[in-house]
Amino acid sequence: MYSLDSRGATAQTCFVDVPDVEYARSGEVAIAYQVFGEGPLDLVFARGFAGDLLTTWEQPPLVRQLQSFAAIARVIMLDKRGTGLSDGFRQPPTLETRMDDLRLVMDAVGSERAVLWSAQDGARLALLFAATYPERTAGLVLFDPHATSRRDDDYPWAPSDEQWRGRLADAREGWGTVEYFRRLVADWAPERVGDGEFLDWFVRHMRRSLSPGAAVGFLRATMGADVRDVLAAVRVPTLVLAAPDRREPAVYVASKIRSSELIVLPSVRGLFTWLDAEAHERAMDETERFVARVGQVASPDPVLATLLFTDIVSSTDRAAELGDRAWRELLERHHAIMRRR
C-alpha cells in the first residue's frame, strides 16, 4: 500500500492507504485489481460503469464507501476489461467475457465464494455470474439494478432506441471534453453542479477510465446487454436497494428473483449512494446486515446445469439497420429456434 492525499492539492486533505494494483492474466489480456480489508467473507465490488482503480481513491465520499466495505469483508475491486488500468479490447467484450474476467480475478486471489455488490448497469454482470456460478456466489447486493438498457413492452422505463442513438452520438463527439463531463455531472450527480473540485476529479477519473473510442464501444455493449431471461435462474440470496424516485427497475429485478429482498432507501440524489450521506449510511447498514446473514449460510450443494448463452453477431449494428419492428421479429425467430433445441 502507499499513502495518497485523496483531495489532491486542496485545503482539506484525507490521507488513505491505497492498495497495490495487481494483475490477473487471461491470455494476452491483463485485468487490474486491488484487494483490501479483512472479514470472514469476500466482497467483490463490481462497479456499475467504467472506473479507474487509482483515481477512485481520490474522492473522499467514495473512499468512505470502500472503507465501509473493508470493515465487514475482504474487498476485491477490479477494472473491467478495456477500462482503467486493465488492457483494452478490439471488440467490446460481452457480458460472458467480463464474467470470465471476474472469475479469473477471484481465482487469482484465492476467493472461492463472495458477495457481489454492484449497481445500475453493472448489476447485469453480477446477475449473470450468480446464475452461472451459484456455488461461488454467497449473495448479491444490487443498487438500482437494470436488467436491460433498452425499452420494451415489459420494461417501459429504459431508454428508447432513439435516445440511445442520441447518447452514442453525444459520446462520439464529446467524450473526453470538460463540457461533456459537466453534462454527465448534472445528470448523475446534480447536487455537485457548480462544484469545481468535484468536476476536476470527475473529468480526470472518466478520462482515465475510458478513451473516446472505448467509451462508444462500452456504451454500445451496454445498450445490447439484457439479462431478463437470466433472473429466474438466480438462486442465491439477493438484496435489492432502490432509490425512491426511480424504483421501477429494482422492483422488476426483485420480483423475478425468488430469494430476493427489496429495500427502498430514504433518499438518493443522483446515481450514487456514496454522494448522499443518508442513503450511504442506510445502504451500508443493510449491506452489513446482509453480509452477516449470508456469511452464516453454508455453501449450496453444487447443481449440475447447463446455461446456453447465444449472441447474434454484430447485434447492435443489425438493430440499427433493421429498425425496432424488424429487429424484434428477428429476435423472436431466434428465441423460437433456441426453444426447440
Summarize pLDDT for 174-203 with one digit per residue, the tens: 999 999 999 999 999 988 999 999 999 999
Q: State the pairing for strand pair 29-36/22-26.
A: antiparallel
117 within 8 A of 46, measured Cβ to Cβ: yes
Place of cell 429498425: 323
208 within 8 A of 200, measured Cβ to Cβ: no
pLDDT of residue 333: 54
Task: Name which residue leads in pLDDT, 269 or 176.
Answer: 176
C-beta neighbour count of 95 within 10 angstroms:
21
SS3 of 145, please?
A: coil
Rounded CA separation 142/122 (Å): 9
H helical segments located in 225-264? 248-256
The CA–CA distances, whole Å, from 33 to 46, 109, 195, 327 equal 11, 10, 30, 38
Long-range pairs for 55-60 at CB < 8 Å and ≥24 separation?
A: 55/201, 55/204, 55/205, 55/208, 55/209, 56/205, 57/4, 57/6, 57/16, 57/18, 58/4, 58/6, 58/7, 58/8, 58/201, 58/204, 58/205, 59/6, 59/198, 59/201, 59/205, 60/6, 60/7, 60/14
pLDDT of residue 2: 42
Rounded CA separation 209/212 (Å): 10
Mean pLDDT value of segment 261-282: 83
194 Rama class: left (phi>0) / alpha (psi -120 to 50) / beta: left
pLDDT band at 276 (very low <50, low <70, confident <90, very high): confident
Rounded CA separation 44/106 (Å): 8
Note the pLDDT tens digit of each residue in 222-254: 888 999 999 999 999 999 999 888 899 999 999
pLDDT of residue 316: 56
Burial degree of 7 (CB within 10 A; 0-12, 13-18, 19+) = middle
pLDDT of residue 328: 55
Among the ranges given (29-43, 229-243, 311-325), the one the predictor scored with the smallest mean pLDDT? 311-325
- Is 137's pLDDT higher than 90? yes
pLDDT band at 302 (very low <50, low <70, confident <90, very high): very low
Long-range pairs for 319-325 at CB < 8 Å and ≥24 separation?
A: 319/161, 319/224, 320/165, 324/161
C-alpha cell at 171: 459520446
pLDDT of residue 320: 52
The number of angstroms, rounded, from the C-alpha of 277 to the middle of its chain's C-alpha atoms is 21
pTM of this structure:
0.82
Rounded CA separation 117/243 (Å): 16
pLDDT of residue 196: 95
222 within 8 A of 146, measured Cβ to Cβ: no
SS3 of 149, please?
A: coil
The CA–CA distances, whole Å, from 242 to 71, 143, 171, 226 equal 23, 6, 27, 19
